[in-house]
Chain A
Amino acid sequence: MEYLIGIQGPDFVLVAADNVAASSIIQMKHDYDKMFKLSEKILLLCVGEAGDTVQFAEYIQKNVQLYKMRNGYELSPAAAANFTRKNLADYLRSRTPYHVNLLLAGYDEADGPGLYYMDYLSALAKAPFAAHGYGAFLTLSILDRYYRPDLTRDEAVDLLKKCIEELNRRFILNLPSFNVRLIDREGIHDLEKLTLGAK
């Protein structure tokens, strides 16, 4: 039902998430933000079971901030991704596993941009592009076909629009609008909301 997508470029990461908060068959909210800001240059996109997403994402968010307060410097995206994976894995075999699928996107001064894909079984993979949700079945092949490691920002946004157009054409559910953000050396930038599906 929910959709997340991330595309990494040579010096940026582009991420987008749909805006629907649904309960059974009803759209409760049309402008829901599924991205959580972990630090100035790291975003966590989180979908999954209703309460688990916010609980887990806020837990990670507060702990990353706590690390910064205690140590004086921020966690790198790779470190934050591994920290998240460790927590998810620890909860997986407890009595209260979190059923969440995540994308973690960040920019590191030393390593450059990074996009990390994590699923509810806490499998972590660094990938040049990734997507979550039923929409991923429809859009991953588009990404496979057109992705290049040296995409410019505009080309990445065009690729994102191609994916969303395909969703509007073939996905049975209505996802009218998407939040789009871009992370680069300067930090997190809000791009224009994509509303290709709304009539």
Chain B
Amino acid sequence: MASAEYLDESPIEFGQIRVVQSSSAMPSQDSMEPTFSLPIGLPLSSSHSVPLPFPMSHGTTTLAFIFQGGVLAAADTRSSCSGLVACPAAQKILPIHSHLVGTTSGTSADCALWKRILARELRLYQLRHGRRLSTGGAAKLLSHMLQPFKGTELSVGGQQCFGRERSGPSLYYVCSDGTRLKGTLFSVGSGSPYAYSVLDQGVQWGLTVQEAVSIAREAVFRATYRDAYSGNCVDLYHITSKGWTRRNREDLKEEGVHPQWRVSFSTLTVETARE
């Protein structure tokens, strides 16, 4: 009885308070100033609203890309809070169901919560309609669920990866500011520029699985090298039409020098998916 009551309210009923951004751009009374209003400010500024109880910081490197063998997702495992490493063994890639994996970036608590809400909603959809929601639909659902919270300090930068026979693999980037993009290569987080530069050089459709895995690890490694807020180990998930498989977590600290990677590569073990 109690559990039914608890699930009655949908979280998207929560309201939000948002400061009107356009108030600063209203034309001034002073006729000396030119009265044109400047276009939107630089994208680096974000809207501030309700003050937080304590400052939240986040740093991560996650990436995902599509190639002929499916979708590969990789992420570091450092969970940082301002200047300290809160957890060196966090899990930033969360499977949502057997064929859908989401990476998280931003505030860990928010990401974990919203991934669970998304998993619940997808399962409900599957039970009600008898078929799975597509990745695009799941991404749109998440994007719409996050929309009422725009302007608050909610920070969720996630990607969805999918491998399916009929429509092929697909990859979407969803962010708490409302962005939803379909693409073939995304990297999210404070270490993402470093990862992008490595991925842009090597990722193409025709990669073999081994090549894709090695370039994904290289990208995360380079990002963790330069970004203080990314580090520790790297997680890799490979999604195909048969589902996702997880590679063993590898500690990047032990492989500081590049040539040693090739040696340890051959001893990877692969866990197969379980429902």
A residues apposed to B, CB below 8 Å: 1, 21-26, 28-29, 32, 48-52, 54-55, 92-93, 95-97, 99, 101, 119-121, 132-134, 136
Contacts and interface: CB of A to CB of B under 8 A. Distances in A.
B69 interface: no
Nearest to A121: B22
B48 to A, nearest CB: 14
A23 B21 contact: no
B37 to A, nearest CB: 8
B229 interface: no
Interface residues of B, number: 29
Interface in B13-39: 15-18, 20-22, 25, 37, 39
Contacts of A25: 44, 193
A160 to B, nearest CB: 20
Contact of B183 (A28, A119, A121, A136): A28
Interface in B169-194: 173, 175, 177-181, 183, 186, 192-193
Given A28-B181, A54-B179, 15 more contacts: A21-B181, A24-B44, A26-B192, A26-B193, A32-B181, A49-B177, A50-B175, A50-B178, A51-B147, A55-B147, A95-B15, A96-B150, A96-B151, A99-B22, A101-B39
B21 A97 contact: yes
B241 interface: no
Contacts, number: 77
B143 interface: yes
Nearest to A97: B20
Given A51-B150, A95-B17, A99-B21, A28 B173 contact: yes
Contacts of A48: 40
